Amino acid sequence: MNAIPSSSQVSDAFGFRHIFVPASEGGEQAPPLLLLHGTGGDERDLLPLAAQIAPGAAILSPRGNVSENGMPRFFRRLAEGVFDEADLRAQTQALTAFIDQACEAYALTRPVALGFSNGANIAASLLWLAPDRLAGAALWRVMRPFPQAPGIALADKPVLILAGASDPLIPAARSQELASALGEAGAAVSLEILPASHGLTQADITITARFLASVGKAGAD
């Protein structure tokens, strides 16, 4: 189990088991982070990475409400790489309500989503269905959530997509499809294909830290 900061709050409020970590000294100007874990993860999984990527930033980290053979997920799938679209829409709506309520309760501005695999996929769904809830998104090992185009113009929404060149679960081509769709909808998309598999590497951390610094600077301008 990953340790959590002593200043954090663990709660079951707003429909999701979650951890909230308030901003600490030096991180008040950084955008809040919405951490979205992969299959089998939980609300603690991405905390150590977030501390490296954006030290001191406020963190909102929910656990997915769907269980697949005992492993937490954010939505159901019909098979490997085949989403249950109806459930994805329903769970995205639930996550949208969570973001609204948690941001109000914790006095947060709109967060930047950091999502890995299943968590990245529901973050992509948020960009599709409720992009105003996010200030941006960094998506690790992600694929397109829906076949149709996003329903809302994304108006230069900053999005980073990091794919693994040798990822056997989410081939880089599927991340490229997402990047193209988001770009066509108006998002400011940066796609990088790394010499990696499905797991995260130091390059993911370094590139994401640079991306979040740019998002924070843009928000302060």
Residues labelled as active-site residues: 117, 167, 198
CA distance 63 to 19: 9
85-105 helix and 118-129 helix, angle to the nearest 10 degrees:
80
The type of residue at 193 is I
DSSP structural state of residue 193: E
The structure tokens listed for 162 are 């990091």
The structure tokens listed for 147 are 């076949």
CA distance 163 to 171: 8
The structure tokens listed for 143 are 């694929």
